[in-house]
């Protein structure tokens, strides 16, 4: 349910100033608990795979099922809103599947999409 009131420009400015001051005083960036070692950073890079988000380095994927899932998501995004970037991402996953020896699964994808990406 929406709020029954709205901020006035002065009230909003005062609230934002207060929030900025709180951040400056508390310095949350000093309490960051992100990974600090090479090993920790390597582990957190895998979170993108675990949760199915975009992966910047497809070459780190060694499981064809994960690569297939990423390709499926990339194709869905490409169909929803075609762009050169999305086509390139999908093409990269097609190539990764071929590199992993699982390129035969591409036969199950719509030929028009695979051909449009230049993988056929």
Residue 58 sits at φ, ψ, to 5 deg, of -60, -25
pLDDT digits (tens, 9 = 90+) for 6-17: 889 999 999 999
pLDDT digits (tens, 9 = 90+) for 57-115: 677 778 888 888 878 877 877 787 788 877 777 788 888 888 888 877 777 666 555 56
Can you give the pTM of this predicted structure? 0.44
Q: What is the dihedral angle through the alpha carbons of 42, 92, 61, 100, rounded to the nearest 10 degrees?
A: -150
Residues belonging to the chain: 120
Domain range annotation of the chain: 9-32+49-116
pLDDT digits (tens, 9 = 90+) for 34-70: 888 888 887 777 666 555 455 666 777 788 888 888 7
């Amino acid at each position: 349910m929406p709020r029954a009131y709205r901020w006035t420009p002065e009230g909003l400015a005062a609230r934002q100033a207060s929030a900025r001051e709180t951040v400056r005083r508390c310095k949350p960036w000093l309490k960051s608990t992100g990974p600090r070692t090479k090993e920790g950073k390597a582990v957190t890079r895998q979170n993108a795979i675990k949760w199915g988000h975009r992966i910047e380095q497809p070459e780190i994927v060694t499981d064809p099922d994960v690569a297939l899932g990423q390709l499926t998501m990339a194709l869905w995004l490409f169909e929803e809103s075609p762009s050169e970037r999305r086509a390139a991402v999908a093409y990269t996953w097609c190539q990764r599947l071929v590199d992993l020896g699982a390129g035969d699964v591409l036969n199950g994808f719509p030929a028009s999409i695979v051909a449009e990406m230049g993988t056929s």
